[in-house]
Structures are given as structure tokens and as C-alpha cells.
Amino acid sequence: MLCTVYHLGVVEYDEAYRLQQRLLYSRLDGKIKNTLLLLQHPPVVTIGKSGKLENIIASPAELMNQGISLVFADRGGDVTYHGPGQLVAYPIIDLRERGKDIHRYVHDLEEVIIRTVRDFSIDAGRDNGHAGVWVENDELASIGIRIRKWITTHGLALNIRPRLEHFSLINPCGFCDRKATSISKLLSKDIPMEAVIQRLITHFSEVFSARMEQGSNSHLRSAL
């Protein structure tokens, strides 16, 4: 398949959501190719469709004092955190071209992350009971998706060098007994975001058998 990738920088969560919705219908109508959005969010806690408010440990006042927004999202999953230093990838893909196999899609997203961090000498794996990528008992990347008319939205969030203390304000993905980790914590050094992005694009191409092309951000916004 052909996939257009866009590097969007830091984007507010609500703005990225609206963009995904427009892309969803454009993909459904065949007006655009499969698309991969790569970005970061300002600090935000999101609650998925199966999320529980009690998994937000901090009070609304505490979140506000730390400059963290709260958003109810239509993705699957529970509570998660997004912030600078975390790479977020939102694929807008037509699963009718991939056998309408949602389990395979989630497995492939995990595989992209596992291969990406392996390039930085991190041995990560799956938890058969919960989507995401883990190093022992710590969550390195979360996955939360939505499928509408077989078009995907939302996606994955890989912790490169976020403020891990912000994860202590929630029970990540609903877990009380697990913590978040990051590439920089595991390696005890910072890895440039761009280096991780390039490896992730390479492995996305491999896993999804996709030919990647770079898209123009200005063209993306003007075309929708």
C-alpha cells in the first residue's frame, strides 16, 4: 500500500482529533491515500470509552495547576497521558485493504514499536492481556484505537523522553500496580526524537508493507 506521512510537530489534542475526523471521511471517500500523522501533544490526560474517572489520581485543580488538560476521547482503552517528549502516531488506514482484521492491526502497531526500540537496544514485548508495549512490568508505549467504517483513527504513543512524573497523576491504562517508562530512562540518556521517528517510519513501512511518501503539512491543511 501507499502511505503519506506528515510530521506535524506539537498539536493540541482537540485539533489533532478534528484533523483525524476529516481525514477519516476523506479516506473513506477515496480522496486521500492511507495516512500516518506523527506529532506530540501538549500535556493532556485522556479518558477512553472504557475509562474510569477513579483512574485519575490527581484532582482537576492539580491537573490545572500543572498545565494538564483533561479530555474524554472516543478511542478504546482507559486513562492515558500525552505530553512533549512522547511520540504519537495516528494512522488513518483502510482496513478493508487488510482483511478487516482488527486484531492483526493492533498486533502490527505493537510490532512497529517493538522493532523501533530494538534499534536502540531495548528488549520490549507484549502483554497478552492488554494492548501496548512493555519492558518487564513497565509500559513503554500505549495503544488506543477507534475503527469507523473500517477506517482507523487514534493509534500509539511511544515514550521517548516525557516527564514521567506526570504519569503518577493517573493509573496508566487503568493499572494500579504498573508504571510508565521511557526510552531515555531505560538507556539513561536522551535519544533525539527525530532518530526515533525515522526508525518508526522504516518499521511501519516494513510491517504494513507500505511505500511511504512525505506529505506537505501546508497542503494537508489546505486540502481539508
pLDDT score at 53 = 85
What is the pTM (predicted TM-score) of this model? 0.94
How many domains, in total, are found in the chain?
Answer: 1
Q: What percent of the chain has pLDDT over 70?
A: 96
Tens of pLDDT, residues 196-214: 999 999 999 999 999 999 9
pLDDT winner (highest mean) among 37-51, 129-143, 193-207 = 193-207
Average pLDDT of the residues of the chain: 93
Indicate if the pLDDT at residue 25 is higher than 90.
yes
- DSSP-assigned letter for residue 160: S
CATH number at 101 reads: 3.30.930.10
Tens of pLDDT, residues 85-105: 999 999 999 999 999 999 999
pLDDT score at 222 = 60
173, 180, 196, 201: the active-site residue: 173
Question: What is the distance between the terminal CA atoms of the chain, rounded to a whole angstrom?
Answer: 22
Query: From the CA atom positions of the chain, what is the Rg in Å?
Result: 16
Domain range spanning residue 108? Answer: 2-223
Q: Is 173 a catalytic residue?
A: yes
Measured CA distances, 37 to 9, 84, 157, 200 (Å): 10, 16, 12, 12
Give the pLDDT band (50/70/90) at residue 223: low
- Specify the DSSP element, H or E, that contains 223: helix 217-223
pLDDT score at 86 = 98
Give the pLDDT band (50/70/90) at residue 218: confident
Give the pLDDT band (50/70/90) at residue 67: very high
